[in-house]
Structure 1
Amino acid sequence: MAAAKSSLKIGQKAPEFELPDQDLKNRKLSDFRGKKTILAFFPAAESSVCTAEMCAIRDSLDELRDYGANVLGISVDGPFVNKAFANNHHLSFPVLSDYGRKVIKKYGIVMKKLASMPDYNAAKRSVFILDEQGKVRYRWVSDNPLVEPNYAEIKEFLKKNNGSSNN
């Protein structure tokens, strides 16, 4: 796994959060315990690479669920933007809004100056897979917002790791 620096390590418990989804329903990470959870952080809704990534996840959703995983998309975009994004691309999983940028700080994945815009901090494109107890079992963090995750690697990880497992 080509992973960049992140304060969150394999084996650590993922920090709890509560964020609004695209329908303004607050979602707590702990609400998803009991199943594996994929946290897919993306920099900006409706940008080309983020759209490709979320659509790739959407297209694999049945397979990911067959491996016992929930999916949460997370960006710093507001919930109204995320709703339009989810509707435009038929995303049938929660797309959460970290508009206060607290979660990306907790997870150590702040990308400073998105598109060279001063003071515009977004999420680094990142994927964390949590086990049923909320511990990080897989992590991939990119410093380059144009690089998509390795979807085959994610599926293979889920396929090989039933229940709680170590990476």
Structure 2
Amino acid sequence: MGRTPAVGDIVGDFSLPGGVLLQDRFERSDYALADHRGKPVVLAFYPGDNTPVCTRQLCSYSDGLDGLRTSGATVWGISPQDVDSHERFARDRDLRIPLLADEGRTVARAFGIDAPLIGLRRSVFIVAPDGRLHWKRVGAVGATFPAPEVLSRQLAALG
């Protein structure tokens, strides 16, 4: 397991397959962190599609997307399930944020949040426009998550 980056660290680039629900179609593509330099990115790691806490978390971020986008932020949900699972989850819950598939948990390991049995620890990282880690919350148990309002305040602090 890698070390969880500290606030102020440069976040290493990664690319993952994923997709986003746009109207009634699920648009698949690869998502690379480097392509988003110059604007903030919220990385919401969650253990699994269609589980109770993960569903509440991702629904709250999708519902609060307008507030999060006010700062120009992009919000990604990342879990170990494949893109087909993400498509079903997005369609079932009308999720409007990209869901990325970290099937081998390589990105979770790089962020130091890989966890035996559950796949990964529920964690949220905000990457600043310059690629540095601005804020993080790494869950010990994973039953709670930061509300969209908390993320909006952190994004507003970026200036």
Q: Which moved more, 1:58-67 or 1:15-24?
A: 15-24
What are the within-5 Å matches in structure 2 for residues 84-103 of structure 1? 84-103=88-107
For 2:129, the aligned partner's letter is: E
Q: Is 1:48 matched up with 2:52?
A: yes
For 2:110, the aligned partner's letter is: K
Provide the identity percentage.
32
For 1:50, the aligned partner's letter is: C
CA distance in 1, matches of 2:36, 2:136: 18
Aligned with residue 130 of structure 1, among 117, 127, 130: 127
Backbone CA RMSD of aligned residues: 1.5
For 2:39, the aligned partner's letter is: K
Secondary structure of 2:151's partner?
A: helix
Between Structure 1 and Structure 2, the one with more strand by share is: 2
Q: Is 1:18 matched up with 2:15?
A: yes
Q: Deviations over 1:76-122 (max 9, x none)?
A: 011110111111111222100000110000010012212xxxxxxx1
> What 5-or-longer segments of structure 1 have no aligned partner?
1-5, 115-121, 163-167
Residue 111 of structure 1 contacts residue 143 of structure 1 at CA under 8 Å; is this kept in 2? no
CA distance in 2, matches of 1:75, 1:142: 14
TM-score by length of 2: 0.89
Aligned to 1:35: 39
For 1:84, the aligned partner's letter is: R
Aligned residue pair count: 151
Residue 46 of structure 2 contacts residue 54 of structure 2 at CA under 8 Å; is this kept in 1? yes
